[in-house]
């Protein structure tokens, strides 16, 4: 037993801060923290000095001043007498609406293209590949600008719809006419779609600063109720299937439950459509969907669809052929195999990257600036910033809002991910 | 102050438009030209003695004031409207009005409209980031009529939309309208409505508090005005300097007195400016006046002696 | 045991293949296959890699299409007729090399899925059947776990149980043990032997010669897409006729 | 029964059948069409639909392409020519605009006499990339260098480079070629020097400024080497950084001035507001990705770290940057950055944009690299530890080379994304090819009203570059997968 | 041979572990470990799965931290002091079950990496040493290949050579053969036996009882984180004392 070891030394030496694993990480972290704090302090100090030099102060009171400008597309009530905060909300709603519609169309389109790319039809497969490659490899901005130009260049002016007495006398047709049974007019300013109107109204209530129509509420309630009833019906069908092995036919009952009450309510309230009509310079009545919105939605959807198509394709390919074969060998038909075996598994692979595409799309809505769509960036980060000169506040607020949207979406994604995790050893 | 910075740098940085025909736009080889641009060049000639030592930084409606405040540009000459809040809240100084303008409307002739008050229900294209959208909202509100705004980021896009018929009327400063109209293939089919719904005094802007610099810019501008008043042009300035008997002209051209030196520039600074870009009238005529494609009449911008508003304080 | 097995073979024909040919593109993968399988027979197919064994048994439940000749399974000819294919598939169970369990379903759901959706059996009944077969393969206690949570041997036994739940009259096995660790091979072979003893008609691609000798009525040796030799196991192993077979056996058994 | 059965069982094939060709219906075009176009009713419908779409696209755009005009000085002239040749009402592309303004799409307002400089820098970029992409592979490096040489020969001639520059650059590349033969590993030095060289080529000015700036790194290294034995590794590194910063802050300018006075050598300086078009896009894209890579690596390591504060800060940074649109960051660059810096500091908008774009790319790269790190088995870390490598050695020698290799496809797609996103700088007033230059061209009276041509032109170039990159990364991925097996 | 080996054992202590305890969270994985390893000793550690064998030898070069007790390796106590850890690690070589070669480096680079960067040996010298050890493990001709191009047995021999290049005084092996195919096990064991004959101090977790009997001075049996029995190999195998050991040996040897 002749080993020479230094007697274990106790006590603290300064070098332990760096060489002792226990303290080392604290040392590093404290250094980092101090550096970080110094950097933050430096930035704040600079900001304060700069603000002082420009005679500005940092506060958000300007949000409650009169905005004074008009917004073409306002989905919540807004006039130029409202304050900047309200304008911000209008912009936020516009952002969310574009994001929502974009995601919806992109998913549908991307899903179809992804599946078609896998089809054994050579021509379609090639076309879809070209689509995906072209849209993925060209900047989104180009698609936005292009779809805007196409929309406004290829559509007729409102006056082309005009029918004058002379024309009737001469038996001439107007240069353009409304589509979808004369209910929708596509002009070079936007798409005029019919608006729902009620003969008998239930009135409306004020919730916070938003008036909510009771009619709308009634419809939502009825729809929710029918959906619930339909789910009961399906659950019942499933129970019957489990008990007897045979699944009762449900589709006509479903249809009845889903659409019956809504139709009944429609007649009860006397819902009818207000068809847009050419009056003066423009179509009046109905709802005007501006081309900036349409173009942005289309471009975002087309662009993102290319990415989603790839996700869908690789998601389906990720499910090994063995799964299909096993299902076939058990006697399952192709469509059942798809719905019971492939899709449930593919969705787990598809959904996480899909959601991050949604996130990208939502962030990309800020490119609405290219077509002057008044979204959050256009109102808060555009006109409000410009009129009030509060770039620091406006930009920070805007980033904060975008960040919150992103974080909420990714939190949902994590929730989903952990709930569908495949069980493994 | 900014003056010393500019001298030290040997270059003047001007915030300009990203491209507005006649007022400030680069040509195919990147040389900037225009009404606003020439004022910058004049300032450069005054401060540095060389009108070419200017760097133009294109700014958008959103970035322009920040660029000035942060010192990124020394001078903002980007047809910016002088308003109360910009002058006070943004800590900026408008040093002069080099162009008196007002917001107007342009419509197609066959629309059958002869007054802006008949525009009820019309779709109106506006450029965002300016005072125009506020004026527009106010105007329609006052007259109790409605409109559908289409906000557009820049002039060429606004024109494209207007020409394509995506809006019934295009509103911006009357000078801009005229400029646009002039470049349209069928200029005769468009009319500018008589209503001018706002006052738009456009002028060069400097940072608040730097009075010396403000003076340099202001007096450069006035020098150009006085030059027009006295018939001094880029062609005859040397001759006039040599021969004039007018004391004010002598002071202006640095023949006598030390006005330039008092301001911190060379004594013949203003002579240089006139030599380089000409007097106000020349600048106007060269860039936007009658005979150019823009084809604007002097109107309000005529000298006070000719019934306009351009009036320079005495140079003494 | 071999005798017991023999006794169960009936005269009834379970599978009849005549003059069957198959190509992958230009590649002639199965050449002039003729074979008859009586009900209750247990056939082992062996042969070098790439000789078409898997392809052959996959043709039998139409996971692959053949281009020439006739395959009649249980009196139903396999053509492009979807109904016939469905019929055959629900009569024929198949076990794969890589188990191919459905990872998103529990073991029990794996076993009840096909009976419920294909055979329209009430769920309760399907679950009872499933538990019965899971007990048979000795893993009833795993019924509510997911495939990922089981060992390879257990998974393969679940795969067998899943096939059995469809009450097939014929079982096909494609190298069911070759992806398993040695200890687990035994578990699975035991299950298969048990099945064989109950008189199930079985076609099994395998290189487990012990298994072949224990339960097969017949061993088929394939090479280059053709049946080169078939014989009773004893004869086949002790007294191979063709040169090709001898070579193959010497490699396999020497190993 | 059993006896007879045993008899029937025996079968021995005496002759092996030769393979035969499949039946007619299984061969050739017939089979191909049947399988690929008309296999099911749905497929037939899809095929018809596809044909219809293709036909519609072609018939709608073909005349426009066929009536292209290449020689005209304005849009109206173009239209006249089309009307004259193809009849009234026909439409035709007016490529004359591209012909007249192509240089603005490529170089912005970069002075024509200096075009050879970006052209040269672009060629050298590949020479600098070669040692990174093909570390130690003599053959591939030489191939790339040869290609660069050929490219420079042609383009420098076309761009009218002055004779000395022409000769010097060819000599440089030839030298690199020789270097690749003798010591392929050493070429990395050129890669390290390239940023300074590139900066100097593009911005011009005294040759000493990049050299003296690079010398700052030399100072860092010298202090680090000298200091390590005395004060230990970490403090020495800190001292090195401090010394380098001091160098850059205080000594850089006087030294440059002194050297310039003593040995005046420089090229015409070009201000960055003249940068535009694809030159701008590539400058922003390439510098963004080059500088974001190290930052991204640090962030990824930080995010993987078990030190709570380091991890939190990294996660916070990454999530913040990834959570906001790039365009808001660009606005930050143009509107807010000035607020955060000491009063009076003022620097080039392009540099500010590059900084923000670098942060943006770094956050995305950090996530990509984290994926690569996570894909490495724990055993690699343990083996490195067991061999006695310290943390940074293990990362540098063992972990990162593998993690980066795994992440190459994602890094490339981040780069593609970044490159496409450079078009957004138009919104802060820079002249990107898509919106900035196009807007300037369209503001010209001659070309007012032109839409499709610039978009198609710019879009095509973007497509070619991005598509090329994605194909290359696929190739790289395949190659890396196989070459070690 | 065993005698030859014994002769090299010196009185010097290579590893001294006293009262060592380790927990993973709440789980007490090593309990009161006391052991002394003389220089030149060759120790085999065995025991059922999960008994803490790997953890024990990973503590010896501080891949895992222990919470109580003392580990002194070659005179250096393993504490939180990084310098000590570095010192110990450069004295102790380790070979893993899954080789853990660096796949992006050639065999030669794998072997020279640590000497160059940790020991600061000139590259040329490091390469000479590496070639020497690669020759010793009989794969000098593979020096310029990548790990992925070698078989498992070859890879493990490279891993041994890589450790040897650091000229360690102690070698730790964690189941070095359990991820290998049977034919390859022998190659690796031969290499290890050769090392043992040269008098290297070795701690080896393995279930290769043949190896233990051939070269070990001592066999340590662990269960539930404790050292249950240790003895000379002959005694250990023929005459185990504890019940637990008997049970374990019956399983291992019966297998
Ligand atoms: N989908 C396919 N397309 C083209 N060729 C195929 C396909 N599937 C299999 N083959 C080829 O057909 C031949 C027979 O394949 P098969 O899988 O039936 O062989 P096997 O006898 O089962 O071999 P193993 O013992 O390796 O499983 C092989 O040469 C194989 O390469
Ligand atoms: N990082 C860890 N965290 C928590 N528990 C662990 C960790 N590593 C190992 N264990 C547990 O510690 C116990 C001992 O593990 P160890 O790997 O030392 O066993 P072993 O004897 O080497 O077993 P085997 O023969 O399977 O390799 C096991 O029960 C294991 O589950
Ligand atoms: Mg097979
Ligand atoms: Mg272990």
> Could E13 and A2 be called an inter-chain contact, meaning their C-beta atoms sit closer than 8 Å?
yes
Q: What is the rounded distance in angstroms from the CA atom of residue A397 to the CA atom of residue B263?
A: 44
- Residue A239: its pLDDT value, please? 84
Kindly give the distance from the C-alpha atom of residue C91 to the centroid of ligand 1, in angstroms, as a whole number.
25
Do D and E make contact, counting contact as 3+ CB pairs within 8 angstroms? Answer: yes
- The string of pLDDT tens digits covering residues B253-308 is 888 888 888 888 888 889 989 999 999 999 999 988 888 877 788 888 899 998 88
Q: Which helix (H) or strand (E) holds C32?
A: strand C27-38
Structure tokens at A43: 């930035």
Structure tokens at D389: 């490598």
Q: What is the rounded distance in angstroms from the CA atom of residue C95 to the CA atom of residue C162?
A: 9
**Predicted confidence band at E18 (pLDDT cuts at 50, 70, 90)?**
very high
Among the partner-chain residues C32, C67, C223, the one whose CB lies closest to the CB of D22 is C67
Q: Residue D31's Cα: distance from chain center in Å? A: 44
Kindly give the distance from the C-alpha atom of residue E56 to the centroid of ligand 2, in angstroms, as a whole number.
10
Name the residue with the closest Cα to ligand 1, atom 18. Answer: C52
Do B and E make contact, counting contact as 3+ CB pairs within 8 angstroms? Answer: no
Among left, alpha and beta (phi > 0; psi -120 to 50; other), residue C137 is alpha
Residue A84 has pLDDT above 80, yes or no: yes
Residue D188 has pLDDT above 60, yes or no: yes
Residue D352 has pLDDT above 80, yes or no: yes
- The string of pLDDT tens digits covering residues E161-179 is 999 998 999 999 998 887 7
> Could B163 and D439 be called an inter-chain contact, meaning their C-beta atoms sit closer than 8 Å?
no
Most confident of A259-273, D77-91, D243-257, D407-421: D407-421
- Count how many Cα atoms sit within 13 Å of the Cα of residue D374 in the half-sphere of its side chain: 9
Q: How many residues does chain D have?
A: 485
Instruction: Provide, rounded to the nearest whole percent, the portion of chain E with pLDDT above 70.
Output: 93
C5: nearest CA partner in chain D: D2
Kindly give the distance from the C-alpha atom of residue C207 to the centroid of ligand 3, in angstroms, as a whole number.
11
**Predicted confidence band at E2 (pLDDT cuts at 50, 70, 90)?**
very low
Name the residue with the closest Cα to ligand 2, atom 22. Answer: E54
Report strand pairing: C13-24 vs C68-73.
antiparallel
Any ligand 2 atom below 6 A from CB of E24: yes
- Residue A17: its pLDDT value, please? 67
D123 phi, psi to nearest 5 deg: -65, -45
How confident is the prediction for chain A on average, in pLDDT? 84
DSSP state of A81: T
Q: Which helix (H) or strand (E) holds E95?
A: strand E92-95
Mutate to test the pocket of ligand 1, among C20, C21, C28, C50 (most ligand atoms within 8 A of CB): C50
Residues paired with C33 in a beta bridge = C20
How confident is the prediction for chain D on average, in pLDDT? 84
Name the residue with the closest Cα to ligand 2, atom 12. Answer: E29
- Residue D26: its pLDDT value, please? 65
A 10 A CB-CB count for B287 gives 20
Mutate to test the pocket of ligand 2, among E20, E52, E227 (most ligand atoms within 8 A of CB): E52
**Predicted confidence band at E5 (pLDDT cuts at 50, 70, 90)?**
very low
Return all residues near A154 (Cβ < 8 A) that are at least 6 apart: none
| Position in ligand 1 atom list of the atom nearest CA C97 | 27
E106: nearest CA partner in chain D: D484
**Predicted confidence band at D25 (pLDDT cuts at 50, 70, 90)?**
low
Residue B279, SS3? coil
CB B119 within 8 A of CB B145: yes
Structure tokens at C203: 């076609």
ipTM for this model: 0.82
Structure tokens at B85: 């809040």
Mutate to test the pocket of ligand 1, among C24, C57, C173 (most ligand atoms within 8 A of CB): C24
E114: nearest CA partner in chain D: D387
| Position in ligand 2 atom list of the atom nearest CA E64 | 1
> Could A344 and C146 be called an inter-chain contact, meaning their C-beta atoms sit closer than 8 Å?
no
Any ligand 2 atom below 6 A from CB of E55: yes
Gyration radius from chain D CA atoms: 30
A 10 A CB-CB count for D62 gives 10
Position with higher pLDDT, A58 vs C132: C132
**Predicted confidence band at A196 (pLDDT cuts at 50, 70, 90)?**
confident
Nearest partner of E135 among E117, E108, E109, E101, judged by Cα: E108
Residue D184 has pLDDT above 60, yes or no: yes
What DSSP letter does each residue of A365-381 carry, written as one string? Answer: GGGGGGGT--SHHHIII
Among A91, A146, A159, A189, the residue to mutate for chain B (most B Cβ within 10 A): A189
Q: What is the rounded distance in angstroms from the CA atom of residue B305 to the CA atom of residue A261?
A: 80
- The string of pLDDT tens digits covering residues D289-332 is 888 989 999 999 999 888 888 899 999 999 999 999 999 999 88
Q: What is the rounded distance in angstroms from the CA atom of residue A243 to the CA atom of residue C124?
A: 7
| Position in ligand 2 atom list of the atom nearest CA E175 | 27
**Predicted confidence band at A12 (pLDDT cuts at 50, 70, 90)?**
low
Interface of E with A (CB under 8 A): 11-13, 16, 36, 65, 70, 72, 75-77, 79-83, 85
- The string of pLDDT tens digits covering residues B35-70 is 999 999 999 999 998 888 998 888 877 778 888 887
A 10 A CB-CB count for B40 gives 31
Name the residue with the closest Cα to ligand 1, atom 29. Answer: C50
Residue D403 has pLDDT above 80, yes or no: yes
Q: What is the rounded distance in angstroms from the CA atom of residue B22 to the CA atom of residue D443?
A: 11
Nearest partner of A141 among B19, B126, D464, D436, judged by Cα: D436
Which whole number is the average pLDDT over B158-163?
Answer: 82
pLDDT along chain C (255 residues), means of 10: 53 89 88 91 89 92 90 89 88 90 92 90 91 90 88 89 92 86 76 88 88 88 91 88 86 61
Residue E7 has pLDDT above 70, yes or no: no
Q: What is the rounded distance in angstroms from the CA atom of residue A248 to the CA atom of residue A251?
A: 9
Q: What is the rounded distance in angstroms from the CA atom of residue E190 to the CA atom of residue E138?
A: 11
- Residue D485: its pLDDT value, please? 44
- The alpha carbon dihedral of A343, A345, A347, A353 has a sign of negative
CB B171 within 8 A of CB A311: no
Q: How many residues does chain E have?
A: 255
- Reduced 3-state DSSP string for A166-233: HHHHHCCCCCCCCECCCCEEECCCEEEECEEEECCCCCEEEECCEEEEHHHHHHHHHHHHHHHHHHHH
Q: What is the rounded distance in angstroms from the CA atom of residue B93 to the CA atom of residue B112?
A: 43
Any ligand 2 atom below 6 A from CB of E54: yes
Q: From residue E68, how far is each of A9, A13, A22, D158, E78 by CA, in Å?
A: 16, 22, 15, 76, 11
> Could E16 and A21 be called an inter-chain contact, meaning their C-beta atoms sit closer than 8 Å?
no
> Could D467 and A133 be called an inter-chain contact, meaning their C-beta atoms sit closer than 8 Å?
yes
CB A359 within 8 A of CB D417: no
Instruction: Provide, rounded to the nearest whole percent, the portion of chain A with pLDDT above 90.
Output: 24
- Residue D1: its pLDDT value, please? 38
Q: What is the rounded distance in angstroms from the CA atom of residue E31 to the CA atom of residue C4?
A: 57
- Residue C4: its pLDDT value, please? 45
CB D349 within 8 A of CB D430: yes
Kindly give the distance from the C-alpha atom of residue C173 to the centroid of ligand 3, in angstroms, as a whole number.
10
- The string of pLDDT tens digits covering residues A104-153 is 999 999 999 998 888 888 888 899 999 999 999 999 999 998 898 888 87
Residue with tokens 């037939």: D44
Q: How far apart are the first and last CA of chain B?
A: 24
Kindly give the distance from the C-alpha atom of residue E250 to the centroid of ligand 4, in angstroms, as a whole number.
20
Any ligand 2 atom below 6 A from CB of E49: yes
Any ligand 2 atom below 6 A from CB of E51: yes
Nearest partner of A420 among A349, A326, A354, judged by Cα: A349
Do B and C make contact, counting contact as 3+ CB pairs within 8 angstroms? Answer: no
> Could C122 and A242 be called an inter-chain contact, meaning their C-beta atoms sit closer than 8 Å?
yes
DSSP state of C26: T
> Could A49 and D343 be called an inter-chain contact, meaning their C-beta atoms sit closer than 8 Å?
yes
| Position in ligand 1 atom list of the atom nearest CA C56 | 18
Q: From residue E112, how far is each of D423, D429, D483, E20 by CA, in Å?
A: 48, 54, 22, 34
Residue C205, SS3? strand
Any ligand 2 atom below 6 A from CB of E29: yes
Among the partner-chain residues D2, D14, D23, the one whose CB lies closest to the CB of C67 is D23
Q: Which chains are within 8 Å of E by 3+ CB pairs?
A: A, D
CB B163 within 8 A of CB D449: yes
DSSP state of B303: B
Instruction: Provide, rounded to the nearest whole percent, the portion of chain B with pLDDT above 70.
Output: 99
Which whole number is the average pLDDT over B308-313?
Answer: 90
Angle B280-B281-B287 (CA atoms, 0-180°, nearest 5)? 90
Residue E252 has pLDDT above 70, yes or no: no
Mutate to test the pocket of ligand 2, among E44, E46, E50 (most ligand atoms within 8 A of CB): E50
Residue A395 has pLDDT above 70, yes or no: yes
Q: Residue-wise over B161-172: b if at least 16 C-beta within 10 A, else e?
A: bbbbbbbbbbbb
Partner D, chain A 136-175, Cβ-Cβ below 8 Å:
136-142, 145-146, 149, 153
Q: What is the rounded distance in angstroms from the CA atom of residue B91 to the CA atom of residue A391?
A: 14
Return all residues near C140 (Cβ < 8 A) that are at least 6 apart: C131, C134
Among E62, E78, E82, the residue to mutate for chain A (most A Cβ within 10 A): E82
Which whole number is the average pLDDT over D454-481?
Answer: 86
**Predicted confidence band at D8 (pLDDT cuts at 50, 70, 90)?**
low
Q: How many residues does chain A have?
A: 425
Q: What is the rounded distance in angstroms from the CA atom of residue A6 to the CA atom of residue E77?
A: 8
- The string of pLDDT tens digits covering residues E64-97 is 889 899 999 988 888 888 888 888 888 899 999 8
Residue E241 has pLDDT above 70, yes or no: yes
Partner D, chain E 155-184, Cβ-Cβ below 8 Å:
162-163, 166
Nearest chain D Cα distance for residue C193, angstroms:
21
- Residue A404: its pLDDT value, please? 94
CB D330 within 8 A of CB D352: no
Report strand pairing: E13-24 vs D266-267.
unpaired
Q: What is the rounded distance in angstroms from the CA atom of residue D115 to the CA atom of residue D106?
A: 10
Among the partner-chain residues C102, C122, C148, the one whose CB lies closest to the CB of A423 is C148
- The string of pLDDT tens digits covering residues B148-159 is 888 887 777 788
Nearest partner of E209 among E34, E45, E20, E54, judged by Cα: E45
CB B213 within 8 A of CB B265: no
- Residue D4: its pLDDT value, please? 40
Nearest chain D Cα distance for residue B168, angstroms:
18
- Residue A18: its pLDDT value, please? 67
Q: What is the rounded distance in angstroms from the CA atom of residue E218 to the CA atom of residue E43?
A: 5
Instruction: Provide, rounded to the nearest whole percent, the portion of chain D with pLDDT above 90.
Output: 14
């Amino acid at each position: 037993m002749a080993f020479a070891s230094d007697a274990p030394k106790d006590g603290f030496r300064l070098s332990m801060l760096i060489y002792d694993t226990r303290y080392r990480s604290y040392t590093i972290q404290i250094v980092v923290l101090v550096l970080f704090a110094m950097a933050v302090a430096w930035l704040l100090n600079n900001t304060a000095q700069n603000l002082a030099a420009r005679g500005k102060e940092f506060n958000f009171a300007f949000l409650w001043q009169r905005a004074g400008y008009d917004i073409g597309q306002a989905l919540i009530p807004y006039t130029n007498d409202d304050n900047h905060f309200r304008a911000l909300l209008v912009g936020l709603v516009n952002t969310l609406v574009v994001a929502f519609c974009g995601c919806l169309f992109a998913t549908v389109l991307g899903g179809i293209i992804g599946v078609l790319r896998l089809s054994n039809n050579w021509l379609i497969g090639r076309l879809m590949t070209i689509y995906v490659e072209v849209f993925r490899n060209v900047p989104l901005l180009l698609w936005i600008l292009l779809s805007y130009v196409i929309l406004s260049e290829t559509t007729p002016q409102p006056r082309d719809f005009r029918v004058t007495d002379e024309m009737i006398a001469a038996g001439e047709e107007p240069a353009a006419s409304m589509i979808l049974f004369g209910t929708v007019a596509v002009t070079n300013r936007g798409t005029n779609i019919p608006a729902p109107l009620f003969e008998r109204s239930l009135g409306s209530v004020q919730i916070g600063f938003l008036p909510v129509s009771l009619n709308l509420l009634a419809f939502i309630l009825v729809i929710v109720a029918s959906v619930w009833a339909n789910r009961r019906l399906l659950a019942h069908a499933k129970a019957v299937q489990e008990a007897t092995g045979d699944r009762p036919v449900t589709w006509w009952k479903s249809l009845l439950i889903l659409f019956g009450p809504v139709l009944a309510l429609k007649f009860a309230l006397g819902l009818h459509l207000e068809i847009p009509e050419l009056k003066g310079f423009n179509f009046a009545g109905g709802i005007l969907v501006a081309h900036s919105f349409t173009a942005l939605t289309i471009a975002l959807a087309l662009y993102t669809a290319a990415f989603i198509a790839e996700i869908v394709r690789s998601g389906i390919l990720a499910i090994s052929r063995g799964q299909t074969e096993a299902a076939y060998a058990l006697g399952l038909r192709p469509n059942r195999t798809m719905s019971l075996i492939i899709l449930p598994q593919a969705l787990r692979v598809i959904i996480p990257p899909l959601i991050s595409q949604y996130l990208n799309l939502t962030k990309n809505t800020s490119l609405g600036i290219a077509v002057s769509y008044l979204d959050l960036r256009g109102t808060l980060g555009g006109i409000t910033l410009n009129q009030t000169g509060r770039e620091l506040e406006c930009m920070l607020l805007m980033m904060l809002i975008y960040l919150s949207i992103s974080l909420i979406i990714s939190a949902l994604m994590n929730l989903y991910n952990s709930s569908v995790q495949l069980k493994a050893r | 102050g900014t003056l010393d910075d500019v001298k030290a740098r040997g270059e003047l940085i001007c915030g300009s438009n990203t491209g507005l025909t006649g007022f400030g736009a680069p040509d195919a080889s990147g040389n900037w030209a225009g009404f606003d641009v020439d004022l910058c060049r004049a300032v450069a000639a005054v401060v540095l003695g060389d009108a070419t030592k200017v760097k133009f930084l294109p700014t958008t409606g959103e970035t322009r004031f920040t660029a000035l405040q942060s010192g990124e540009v020394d001078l903002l000459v980007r047809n910016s409207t002088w308003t109360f809040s910009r002058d006070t809240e943004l800590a900026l100084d408008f040093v002069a009005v080099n162009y008196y303008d007002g917001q107007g409307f342009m419509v197609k002739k066959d629309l059958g409209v002869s007054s802006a008050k008949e525009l009820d229900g019309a779709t109106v294209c506006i450029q965002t980031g300016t005072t125009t959208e506020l004026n527009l909202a106010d105007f329609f509100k006052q007259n109790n009529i409605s409109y559908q705004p289409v906000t557009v980021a820049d002039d060429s896009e606004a024109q494209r939309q207007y020409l394509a018929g995506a809006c019934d009327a295009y509103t911006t400063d009357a000078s801009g309208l005229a400029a646009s109209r002039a470049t349209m293939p069928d200029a005769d089919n468009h009319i500018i409505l008589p209503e001018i719904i706002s006052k738009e005094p456009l002028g060069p802007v400097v940072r608040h508090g730097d009075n010396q610099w403000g003076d340099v810019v202001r007096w450069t501008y006035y020098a150009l005005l006085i030059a027009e008043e006295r018939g001094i042009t880029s062609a005859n300035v040397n001759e006039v300097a040599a021969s004039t008997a007018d004391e004010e002209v002598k002071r202006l051209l640095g023949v006598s007195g030390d006005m330039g030196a008092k301001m911190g520039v060379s004594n013949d600074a203003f002579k240089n400016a006139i030599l380089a870009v000409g007097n106000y009238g020349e600048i106007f005529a060269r860039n936007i006046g009658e005979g150019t494609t823009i084809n604007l009449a002097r109107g309000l911008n005529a000298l006070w002696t000719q019934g306009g508003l351009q009036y320079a304080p005495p140079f003494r | 045991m071999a005798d017991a097995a023999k006794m169960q073979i009936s005269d009834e024909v379970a599978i009849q293949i005549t003059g069957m040919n198959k190509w992958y593109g230009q590649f002639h993968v199965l050449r002039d296959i003729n074979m008859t399988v009586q009900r209750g027979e247990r056939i082992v197919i062996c042969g070098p890699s790439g000789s078409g064994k898997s392809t052959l048994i996959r043709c039998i439940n139409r996971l692959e299409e053949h281009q020439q000749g006739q395959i009649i399974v249980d009196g139903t000819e396999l053509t492009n007729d979807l109904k016939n294919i469905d019929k055959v598939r629900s009569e024929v169970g198949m076990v794969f090399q890589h188990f191919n369990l459905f990872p998103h379903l529990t073991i029990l759901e794996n076993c009840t899925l096909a009976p419920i959706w294909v055979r329209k059996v009430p769920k309760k009944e399907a679950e009872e059947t499933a538990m019965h077969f899971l007990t048979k393969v000795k893993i009833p206690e795993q019924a509510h776990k997911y495939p990922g949570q089981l060992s390879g041997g257990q998974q393969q036994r679940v795969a067998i149980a899943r096939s059995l739940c469809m009450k097939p009259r014929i079982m096909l096995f494609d190298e069911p043990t070759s992806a398993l660790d040695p200890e687990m091979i035994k578990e699975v072979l035991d299950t298969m032997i048990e099945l064989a003893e109950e008189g199930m008609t079985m076609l099994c691609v395998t290189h487990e010669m012990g298994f072949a000798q224990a339960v097969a009525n017949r061993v088929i040796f394939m090479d280059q897409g053709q049946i080169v030799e078939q014989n009773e196991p004893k004869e086949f192993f002790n007294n191979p006729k063709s040169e090709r077979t001898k070579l193959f056996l010497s490699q396999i058994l020497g190993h | 029964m059993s006896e007879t059965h045993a008899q029937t069982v025996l079968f021995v094939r005496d002759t092996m059948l030769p393979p035969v060709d499949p039946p007619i219906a299984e061969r050739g075009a017939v089979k191909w069409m049947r399988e690929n176009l008309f296999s099911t009713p749905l497929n037939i419908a899809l095929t018809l639909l596809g044909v219809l779409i293709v036909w519609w696209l072609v018939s709608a755009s073909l005349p426009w392409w066929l009536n292209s005009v290449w020689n005209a000085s304005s849009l109206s002239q173009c239209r006249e020519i089309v009307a004259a040749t193809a009849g009234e009402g026909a439409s035709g592309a007016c490529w004359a605009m591209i012909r007249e303004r192509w240089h603005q799409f490529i170089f912005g307002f970069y002075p024509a006499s200096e075009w050879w400089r970006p052209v040269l820098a672009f060629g050298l970029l590949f020479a600098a990339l070669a040692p990174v992409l093909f570390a130690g592979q003599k053959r591939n490096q030489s191939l790339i260098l040869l290609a660069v040489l050929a490219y420079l020969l042609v383009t420098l001639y076309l761009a009218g480079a002055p004779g000395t520059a022409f000769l010097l650059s060819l000599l440089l590349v030839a030298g690199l070629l020789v270097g690749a033969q003798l010591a392929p590993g050493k070429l990395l030095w050129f890669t390290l020097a390239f940023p300074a060289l590139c900066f100097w080529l593009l911005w011009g000015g005294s040759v000493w400024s990049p050299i003296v700036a690079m010398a700052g790194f030399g100072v860092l290294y010298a202090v680090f080497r000298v200091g390590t034995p005395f004060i230990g590794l970490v403090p020495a590194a800190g001292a090195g950084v401090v010394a380098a910063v001091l160098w850059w802050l205080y000594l850089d300018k006087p030294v440059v001035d002194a050297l310039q006075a003593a040995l005046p050598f420089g090229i015409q300086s070009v201000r960055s507001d003249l940068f535009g078009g694809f030159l701008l896009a590539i400058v922003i894209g390439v510098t963004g990705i080059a500088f974001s890579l190290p930052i991204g690596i640090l962030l990824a390591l930080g995010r993987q770290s078990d030190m709570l504060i380091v991890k939190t800060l990294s996660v916070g940074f990454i999530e913040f940057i990834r959570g906001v649109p790039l365009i808001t960051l660009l606005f930050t660059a143009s509107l807010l950055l000035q607020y955060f810096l000491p009063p009076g500091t003022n620097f080039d908008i392009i540099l500010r944009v590059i900084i923000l774009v670098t942060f943006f790319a770094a956050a995305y790269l950090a996530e990509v690299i984290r994926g690569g790190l996570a894909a490495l088995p724990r055993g690699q870390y343990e083996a490195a530890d067991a061999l006695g490598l310290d943390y940074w050695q293990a990362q540098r020698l063992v972990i990162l080379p593998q993690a980066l290799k795994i992440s190459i496809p994602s890094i490339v797609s981040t780069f593609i994304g970044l490159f496409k996103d450079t078009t957004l700088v138009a919104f802060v007033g820079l002249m990107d090819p898509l919106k900035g230059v196009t807007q300037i061209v369209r503001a010209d009276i001659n070309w007012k009203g032109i839409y499709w041509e610039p978009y198609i032109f710019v879009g095509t170039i973007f497509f070619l570059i991005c598509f090329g990159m994605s194909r290359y990364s696929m190739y790289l991925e395949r190659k890396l997968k196989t070459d070690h097996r």
